Amino acid sequence: MLKGLVEENRSYRRFHQEVPVSLEALRELVDLGRLSASGANMQPLKYILSPEAERNAAIFETLGWAAYLKDWAGPEEGERPAAYIIVLGDTTVRKSFGVDPGIAAQSIMLGATEMGLGGCMLASIQHDALREALGIDQRYEILLVLALGKPKETVVIDPVGPDDDIKYWRDADGVHHVPKRALDEIIVG
């Protein structure tokens, strides 16, 4: 079951924007982050939730989408995320955050998948612009943005080919392909 969930938990970048994600759903997802492992159990992560259009629009402006898709500037209006979770590091708790944000983010994205949602972790963020737009206090480091919604695209996993090209790509039908390395390639000892 977990493998199925992990397989289904792809990065989605186009959504049915009109299908809302409730604040309650976002809170449930952050609860999965809260319950996840944290270095020294310091739990320095804090979160901003955005289930509403105006804030979503401000967040969207600060994000970089799918760098490998050179002729695609990101989702158009109508296909944008219905919600966001911004993962912050509270520098009054700890100065560096290690892998905590990745662990929490994966818990959140798996939970979203189980809810029938999909999304994308984004680290390509104009940090100063996002801080300014949302009035985020300097005590918080902006670590990740999680975009969420009802996916409006198909994403498939392919094996990495002999050319070793790991770049994701989109075919003529709009299907997004993600090459993954073979198990035997990544187990090196």
By CB under 6 A, name the binding residues for ligand FMN. 10-11, 13, 64-66, 120-124, 155, 168, 178
49/121 with CB nearer ligand FMN: 121
Q: Which residue has the tokens 């402006």?
A: 61
Q: Taking the complex as a whole, how short is the minimal distance between the CB of residue 168 and ligand FMN, in angstroms?
A: 5
Closest distance to ligand FMN from the beta carbon of 24 (Å)? 26
How far apart are alpha carbons 106 and 127 in whole angstroms?
21
Q: Which is nearer to ligand FMN, 134 or 178 (CB)?
A: 178
Q: How far apart are CA 8 and CA 157, in angstroms?
A: 10
Unique residue bearing structure tokens 């979503």: 56
Contact 146, 119 (CB under 8 A): yes
Least separation in angstroms between residue 66's CB and ligand FMN is 4
Closer residue to ligand FMN (CB): 4 or 189? 4
Put residue 78 in one of left, alpha, beta given phi > 0 → left and psi -120 to 50 → alpha. left
- Owner of token pair 């943005």: 145
Q: How far is the CB of 35 from ligand FMN (least distance, A)?
A: 20
Instruction: Give the residue with the Cβ less far from ligand FMN, 10 or 150.
Output: 10
